[in-house]
Structure 1
Amino acid sequence: MLAETICSAASAAGLGIAAVTAYRKRFLAATRIAAYSLIPVGLVMTGVVEWVSGIAFRPSVWLGFGVLGLSWLLFMTTRAVERRRGTTRVDRKAARAARKGNVAPAAPAPPPATGSPAGLPRPKPGKERAAAPADDFSDIEAILKKHGL
Structure 2
Amino acid sequence: MLTSTVCAAVSAAGLGIAALTAYRKRFLAATRIAAFSLIPIGLVMTGVIDWVTNIVFKPTVWAGFGVLALSALLFMISRMAERRRGGTGGRKERKAAAAAGHDVVAPAASTPSLTTARGAAQPAAKPAEKAKAKGKGGAPKDDFSDIEAILKKHGI
TM-score by length of 2: 0.57
- Describe how 1:127-146 pairs up with structure 2 within 5 A: 132-133=144-145
Question: Given residue 29 of structure 2, which amino acid in structure 1 is its aligned partner?
Answer: A
Over the aligned positions, Cα root-mean-square deviation in angstroms equals 3.6
Higher relative contact order (CA 8 A, sep 6+): 1
Q: What is the aligned partner in structure 2 of residue 59 from structure 1?
A: 59
Q: Which runs of 5+ in 1 are unaligned?
A: 99-104, 110-119, 138-149
Q: Which runs of 5+ in 2 are unaligned?
A: 105-129, 150-156
Q: What is the aligned partner in structure 2 of residue 3 from structure 1?
A: 3
Question: Given residue 51 of structure 2, which amino acid in structure 1 is its aligned partner?
Answer: W
TM-score by length of 1: 0.60
- Describe how 1:1-149 pairs up with structure 2 within 5 A: 1-82=1-82, 85=84, 89=88, 91=89, 107-108=102-103, 123-124=135-136, 132-133=144-145
Between the aligned partners of 1:54 and 1:131, the Cα distance in structure 2 is: 74
Q: What is the aligned partner in structure 2 of residue 144 from structure 1?
A: none
Corresponding pairs, count: 114
1:76: how far off?
3.0
Q: What is the aligned partner in structure 2 of residue 147 from structure 1?
A: none
1:68: how far off?
1.2
Q: What is the identity percentage for the equivalent residue pairs of Structure 1 and Structure 2?
A: 56
Question: Given residue 29 of structure 1, which amino acid in structure 2 is its aligned partner?
Answer: A
Determine which structure has more spread, i.e. the larger CA radius of gyration: 2
Question: Given residue 7 of structure 2, which amino acid in structure 1 is its aligned partner?
Answer: C
1:73: how far off?
2.0
